[in-house]
């Protein structure tokens, strides 16, 4: 699913016969975009692409389905950056399993967001003053990806003293259980997903039994300007403990990146992002991007290292979700106000892993004919229905499925316990239908 791609670095080119320097050859075209962080192939479904420690499961762990969809070359990042500077970016967490997502009505009682509003930016603080102010409001997140026999690491920001935490959706995506260690008090809590917005890469989790926690101080991302200094803090490398610190500056606003999830076979675009140069690392996803007053102005979500021309140094191109947008989504989640993009509570689970459109076409599945199945989780609804790898899902409850994206869209209209009728074509071209009951999925 998510891979890290490292662009080629220029090398000395020598001279021509008349003594002139030979210009370096043009770089080869980049591979198609895919999610970052070494999600590789299908994570637990196959070997995948290895990633740095703390990203998550590395090579993906044991595979019950064989090698899985290769996705892209190992090391490829999270999507292609839309607009200058060109190049891939990567996500700062790993995981693997693709799930069928469904909405669930109803929520428990959650307290209103209490993160301190910092108001206008004041006098600049030193780096140590910033960390002293921000660190106590952070948590280290470890997501157990039980269906893949793996773990992934990320960062969260405490919004309420009762333990509501803001993070990236991709930090908790596919998790069968979530633990979070509060930096302020050192305690580790079990966490449950309150809701998430996959299209904006924002999620809210609730630490069970938490009280009296320090919270982060929120700034105003509408005031962010190109050139201003920023600091990123997080769980770099998944090591836990004292948060890592990286400094940089804002280079652009309203940046857009495109990512494709090779396991889900879907792609998405994140827009309106803050582009900065703080060298965030795997595990920093979900962590804060703060201004010089220690106020949170964004959630770090993706990055890439660009090799500089005639230089061995790499410059980070990192991206953060503006905090104003993230907290607006968090309020919607807290209110239990689900929508076509905001999902509340538990997730429904069909138990299929689908190929990307390009991989499906390479295996002879015509574009627009359905969602090609790469693997099925044993014991899942799909497995009990008789769906197997190589089959193509063509409908759900009478709604035509033409692609992985359309499968995801129709599944989002259902919730755990719903009975849905699935139509598919097997590898021999025979059509089948079966009615299945969706289970409670990962991080329910």
| CB contact at 8 A, 318 and 280 | yes
Count of residues in the chain? 444
Catalytic pick among 34, 92, 244, 285:
285
DSSP SS3 for 140: strand
Distance, CA of 193 to CA of 205 (rounded, Å): 4
> How far is C-alpha 241 from the geometric centre of its chain's CA atoms?
22
Distance, CA of 350 to CA of 407 (rounded, Å): 11
Residues 6 or more apart whose CB falls under 8 angstroms from that of 425 comprise 370, 391, 392, 394, 431, 432
Distance, CA of 329 to CA of 118 (rounded, Å): 19
The answer to whether 276 is a known catalytic residue is no
Provide the β-strand partners of residue 274: 320
Catalytic pick among 69, 197, 201, 391:
201
Q: Which tokens belong to 4?
A: 């890290």
Q: Tally Cβ neighbours within 10 Å of residue 399.
A: 15
Distance, CA of 251 to CA of 77 (rounded, Å): 20
Closest to 187 (Cα-Cα) out of 217, 153, 214, 160: 214
Catalytic pick among 170, 276, 343, 414:
170
Which sign, positive or negative, has the C-alpha torsion 246, 252, 254, 258?
Answer: negative
| CB contact at 8 A, 240 and 180 | no
To the nearest 10°, report the CA torsion of 29, 402, 37, 273.
Answer: 80
The answer to whether 12 is a known catalytic residue is no
Distance, CA of 299 to CA of 321 (rounded, Å): 5
The answer to whether 170 is a known catalytic residue is yes
> How far is C-alpha 131 from the geometric centre of its chain's CA atoms?
25
Q: Which tokens belong to 429?
A: 């071209």
Distance, CA of 33 to CA of 30 (rounded, Å): 8
User: Terminal CA-to-CA distance of the chain, rounded, Å?
Assistant: 22
What stretches of 30-103 adopt beta strand conformation (E)?
80-82, 90-91
DSSP letters for 130-174: HHHHHGGGEEEEEEEEGGGTEEEEEEEEE-STT-EEEE-HHHHTT
Q: Which residues are catalytic?
A: 170, 201, 285
């Amino acid at each position: 699913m998510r891979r890290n791609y490292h662009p080629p670095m220029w090398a000395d080119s020598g001279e021509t016969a008349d003594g002139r320097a030979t210009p370096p050859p043009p770089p080869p075209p980049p591979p198609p975009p895919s999610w970052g962080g070494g999600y590789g192939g299908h994570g637990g479904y196959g070997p995948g692409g290895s990633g740095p420690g703390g990203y998550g499961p590395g090579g993906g762990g044991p595979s019950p389905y064989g090698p899985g969809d290769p996705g892209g070359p190992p090391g490829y990042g999270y999507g292609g950056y839309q607009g200058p500077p060109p190049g891939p970016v990567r996500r700062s967490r790993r995981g693997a399993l693709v799930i069928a997502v469904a909405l669930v009505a109803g929520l428990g009682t959650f307290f209103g967001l209490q993160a301190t509003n910092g108001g206008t930016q004041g006098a600049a603080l030193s780096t140590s003053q910033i960390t002293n102010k921000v660190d106590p409001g952070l948590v280290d997140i470890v997501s157990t990806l039980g269906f893949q026999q793996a773990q992934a690491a990320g960062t969260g920001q405490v919004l309420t003293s009762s333990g509501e935490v803001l993070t990236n959706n991709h930090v908790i995506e596919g998790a069968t259980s979530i633990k979070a260690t509060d930096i302020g008090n050192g305690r580790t809590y079990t966490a449950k997903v309150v809701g998430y917005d996959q299209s904006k890469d924002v999620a809210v989790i609730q630490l069970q039994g938490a009280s009296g926690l320090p919270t982060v101080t929120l700034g105003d991302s509408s005031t962010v300007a190109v050139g201003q200094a920023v600091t990123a803090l997080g769980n770099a490398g998944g090591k836990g403990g004292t948060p890592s610190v990286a400094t940089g500056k804002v280079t652009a606003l309203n940046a857009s990146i495109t990512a494709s999830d090779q396991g889900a076979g879907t792609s998405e675009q994140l827009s309106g992002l803050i582009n900065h140069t703080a060298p965030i690392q795997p595990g920093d996803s979900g962590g804060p991007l703060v201004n010089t007053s220690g106020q949170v102005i964004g959630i770090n979500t993706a990055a890439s290292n660009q090799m500089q021309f005639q230089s061995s140094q790499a410059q980070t191109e990192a991206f953060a979700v503006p905090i104003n947008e993230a907290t607006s989504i968090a309020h919607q989640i807290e209110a239990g106000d689900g929508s076509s993009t905001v999902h509340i509570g538990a997730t429904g689970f069909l138990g299929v892993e689908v190929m990307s459109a390009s991989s499906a076409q390479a295996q002879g599945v015509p574009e627009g004919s359905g969602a090609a199945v790469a693997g099925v989780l044993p014991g899942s609804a799909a497995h009990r229905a008789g769906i197997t790898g190589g089959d193509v899902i063509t409908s759900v409850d009478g709604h035509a499925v033409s692609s992985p994206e359309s499968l995801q869209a129709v599944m989002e209209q259902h919730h755990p316990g719903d009975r849905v009728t699935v139509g598919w074509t097997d590898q021999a071209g025979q059509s089948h239908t079966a009615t299945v009951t969706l289970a409670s999925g990962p991080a329910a």
